[in-house]
Amino acid sequence: MRFYTEDECKKWLSDRERQKPDDVADARIEIIDYPPEPYRIFYIAHWIATALMYRMPALLWITEWGIWPSSENWHLYYKMRQTYGDPRLLHEAPGHFFLEHEAEDLASFLQIAMLNGWGGYVLTQANYVNAFFSHDEYIKFFATHDENLASVREDLGKTGPPSG
């Protein structure tokens, strides 16, 4: 895992001749609300990290924070970040680049971001499905082809992950 500055995140996209998924005019979209129980957010974060990566790298780019300051656990986030040897602040390096074998790491960082009320993108190298998670507690999935969203609909549905 590596941490990227905002410019490095933009370069990662441009090197792949891509843009943020919500800037793609004809993208197909599926929106899933966060589950009402916070403990179920891990299911969504883990599903995204394992189902969307296709055993390829992915970039978690956090673009929104500080909106709900009373819900942000900065201590936990920075302790996790420090375990990877990066002392920078989130605004200095908001990108989190995960290799194909680091899906569990992506799931953990995504879960913390979602629970902190942050927003941002999960941009996959595979580029079949990408996601924007919002501080307003929903995830917008983007795909070029509608059939790529079938697993999102099937596994997460309109109401979030299954209970239990």
Predicted pLDDT of residue 134:
97
Q: What is the mean pLDDT of residues 14-38?
A: 94
Residue 49 reports pLDDT greater than 80:
yes
**pLDDT class of 158 with cuts at 50, 70, 90:** low
What are the b/e assignments for 123-152, b being 16+ CB within 10 Å? bbbebbbbbbbbbeeebbbbbeeeebbebb
Q: What is the mean pLDDT of the chain?
A: 94
Q: What percent of the chain has pLDDT over 90?
A: 89
**Closest residue by Cα to residue 59 from 114, 6, 136:** 6
Q: What is the pLDDT of residue 161?
A: 55
Tell me what pLDDT residue 160 has.
Answer: 52
Lookup result for tokens 């986030």: 77
**Lowest-pLDDT choice from 91-95, 126-130, 153-157:** 153-157
Average pLDDT over residues 142-158: 90
Looking at residue 69, what is its pLDDT?
A: 87
* Tens digit of each residue's pLDDT (9 = 90 or more) over 66-85: 998 888 999 999 999 999 99
**pTM above threshold 0.85:** yes
